[in-house]
A and B are shown apart, each in its own frame.
Chain A
Amino acid sequence: MSFLQKKRWQRRHLMEAFMKFIMRASLLIVAGSLGLILWIVVVRGLPALSWDMVSKIPEGGYYMGKGGGILNAIIGSAYLASGGTLLAVIFSVPIALYLKTYLGDSKWGQYVRLSLDVLWGIPSIVYGAFGFALMITLGMRASLLAGIIILAFIELPIMTRAMDEVIRRMPVDLEHAALALGSTKFEVALRVVTRQMLPGITTAILLGFGRGIGDAASVLFTAGYTDRIPTSLMRPTASLPLAVFFQLGSPYPEVQQRGYAAALILTIIVLAVSLGSRWLSARLNRYTVK
């Protein structure tokens, strides 16, 4: 090996080591920022977290530091996200089934998938503005129902694509076997694909719920905010993300503290949902044919 060759060998192997180092470092930065976010939220939120926070609605003067909690926002968010998810499931399951059994990779199927991905990319503030535009046209006021409908729009593409990704991995043999026995496509969809889809549906529901419960910009326009727990679909409702947002905007340190605590509650719910979906889908996956 000549001197020059040796030099070159050294240089490219040094480069290799260096690149590997900065790649590891960037992955660590990304992973570390998750740790940092959770740490900050826990450290600042935990001291203000109390039983009253999660079990009481705001009392008079709550926003000036007096007693009470954010039960209204927790319940409101639960209503909003469950309602939105339920509505989105009703529409996303048939779409995913149709994509799999009837459309496959056809042209129309590609368009539908593309439009779902495009919908996924539309930010929630635009959905919120859209909801608001609809509401002023129809003369509606901010209400639980309006919030649920807009959240369903936001969750629909996420859930449909999640189901689609899962059932795409279903072995074609299964479908072919059923068709060979004389089933119609509808029977395949109903009796074969739905069963294979079960883990996908579960993941999708939890994914949609997690997205719905954390979304602030859309419910700001459509669901409003109130200190009471909603008793009907036509009433406005509070939500956790907005509870965090409004309390942080307060000049009183006690109220800000509670905002951090509310953020901690929201984070715990979202992380539980996310980890839960991972665990559930791993369990349910045992019962599908691969």
Chain B
Amino acid sequence: MSSLISNLNNQTEGRNPRPSAALRTRKDNAARRAFFIFTLLPVALIVFVTGALFVRSWPIISEYGLTDLLFGEVWKPNNGQFGFWPFILGTFWVTTVGVILSVPACLLASIYLAEYAHARTRSFAKPILDLLAAIPPVVYGVWGLLAIVPFVDDVLAPLSERWLGSVSIFSVNQPTGFNVLSAGIVLAVMIAPLVISVMYEILSTVPNDLRHASLAVGATQWQTIRNIVLPQVGPGILAAVVLGASRALGETIAVLMVVGNIPQIPTSIFDSAYPLPALIANNYGEMMSIPLYDAALLSAALVLLVVILIFNILSLIVLRRMLRKK
């Protein structure tokens, strides 16, 4: 009997003693603090990125003033002239065309997925959208270069010249397909997966009871969607569009490859343009050789960042509200 007890004692001695509750609580508190520091990182990163770009672009902002930089129309770094206006308008044109082309199709596709499609269609659509989102920008650029630019040049430009030539925003003034429309088409496809998935999520927040009530009084499905579902989600759809636009604003490589990169203020969708991101990416090589050039390009990045931050935060707040209601 005594040998048995000593045996048991030996066994327990070999093991680690159970950690006390106090130790575990202390560990918990330490972990809480350590984890908390990690969560500061994303918040700090936003501030840090904005701050670093601001500090680096301050030399040029202080010398020229923000208005001259933003609305200056001449870009001649060698003469010390840094006007972003043509590039800002280039960005605006490209983004607008992309969004206009993308949104109707995205809205219809997401309504179809949310309201009509069988579970099987949905389970097909999801991987397709994932793959579209996964394709790298440079591959979109290759596609644009090989398929869209020739298509715009050979098909759309002649068509527009024939039928819409008198409308100035559709007039064809230059011989190549490297223009705003090509970039817009590429962007439209690039932002589609994001816009569709956000719209889909928003549409599925509408309670089914509302749909059933409308269908029960004899409305067709489309009438239900138009009169009941869409009015509920208006702000969310708008937020999805803004989110898509902000994604399009910053797109660099794919746009750069098809937009022509001529620093002019476009007046037609068949004009070349030179958006801000393309300007930054194209000139990084020379920017240390000319005074203030690096500050100018970094301030271009800052302008882009600020616009995108505003767009993003507004649309995310709207989306968050709507999604939480569910």
Residues of A within 8 Å of B53, CB to CB, are 126, 129-130, 133
Main secondary structure on A side of the interface with B: helix
Q: Are A216 and B253 in contact (CB under 8 A)?
A: yes
A-side interface residues toward B, CB under 8 Å?
Answer: 12-13, 15-16, 19-20, 22-27, 29-31, 33-34, 36-37, 40-41, 44, 91, 94-95, 97-99, 102-103, 108, 110-112, 114-119, 121-130, 132-134, 136-137, 153, 156-157, 160, 184-187, 189, 210-211, 213-217, 220-221, 241, 244-245, 248, 259-260, 263, 266-267, 270-271, 273-275, 278
Mark B290-319 against chain A: 1 for CB-CB distance below 8 A, else 0: 000010011001001100110111001100
Q: B221 touching A22 by the CB < 8 A rule?
A: no
Query: Are B35 and A98 neighbours in the complex by a CB distance under 8 Å?
Result: yes
Once A27-B109, A31-B128, A127-B49 are accepted as A-B contacts, the answer to whether A122 and B308 lie under 8 Å apart by CB is yes
Cα A117 to Cα B246 with chains together (Å): 13
B236 at the interface (CB under 8 A from A): no
In order of increasing CB-CB distance, the 5 nearest A-B pairs are: A123-B250, A214-B136, A129-B301, A98-B35, A23-B112
Residue B165, interface by CB 8 Å: no
Find out whether the CB atom of A267 lies under 8 angstroms from the CB atom of B139. Answer: yes
Partner of A270, one of B135, B221, B277, B317: B135
B235 interface hit (Cβ, 8 Å):
no
Residue among A108, A123, A244, A248 making CB contact with B277, cutoff 8 Å = A123
Q: How far is the CA of A40 from the CA of B27 in the complex (A)?
A: 57
Which residue of the partner chain A has the closest CB to B192? A30
Is there a chain A Cβ closer than 8 Å to B14's Cβ? no
Contacts of B221 in A (CB 8 A): 16
In the complex the two chains form, what is the Cα distance from A95 to B309 in whole Å?
22
Nearest chain A CB to B69's CB is how many angstroms away?
A: 16
Other CB < 8 Å A-B pairs besides A216-B138, A248-B257, 15 of them?
Answer: A15-B222, A16-B222, A26-B112, A94-B38, A95-B38, A115-B42, A125-B250, A125-B281, A126-B304, A136-B56, A215-B136, A266-B139, A267-B139, A270-B135, A278-B127
CA of A22 to CA of B104, assembled, Å: 10
- B163 CB-CB contact with A under 8 Å: no
Stretch at the interface among B81-89, B143-151, B205-213: B143-151
Q: Is the CB of A274 within 8 A of B46?
A: no
Neighbour of B222 across the interface among A19, A122, A189, A221, CB < 8 A = A19
Task: Contact check, A217 vs B281: say whether CB atoms are below 8 A apart.
Answer: yes
User: Does the CB pair A126–B312 fall under 8 Å?
Assistant: no
Docked complex: B250-266 residues within 8 A CB-CB of A: 250-253, 257
- Residue B7 at the A interface, CB < 8 A? no
Q: Is the beta-carbon distance between A137 and B105 smaller than 8 angstroms?
A: no
Contact A117 B316 (CB under 8 A): yes
- Whether B250 and A270, one on each chain, are in contact in the complex, defined by CB atoms closer than 8 angstroms, is no
A212 nearest CB across to chain B (Å): 10
- Decide if B143 touches A213 in the complex (CB within 8 Å): no
The contact string, 1 if C-beta is below 8 Å from chain A, for chain B 165-197, is 000000000000000000000000100100010
- Decide: B139 and A97 in contact? CB cutoff 8 A: no
- Whether the pair B24, A187 counts as a contact (CB closer than 8 A) is yes
Any chain A CB within 8 A of the CB of B94? no
Write out the residue numbers on chain A whose beta carbons fall within 8 Å of the beta carbon of B134: 210-211, 214, 270-271, 273-274
* Contact A94/B136 with A111-B43, A118-B309, A124-B252 known, Cβ cut-off 8 Å: no
Residue of B nearest to A116 (CB): B42
Distance in angstroms from A290 CB to nearest chain B CB is 18
Q: How far is the CA of A281 from the CA of B222 in the complex (A)?
A: 36
Q: How far is the CA of A122 from the CA of B243 in the complex (A)?
A: 11
A137 and B277 form a contact (CB under 8 A) = no
| Residue of A19, A24, A29 ringed by the most chain B CB atoms within 10 A | A19
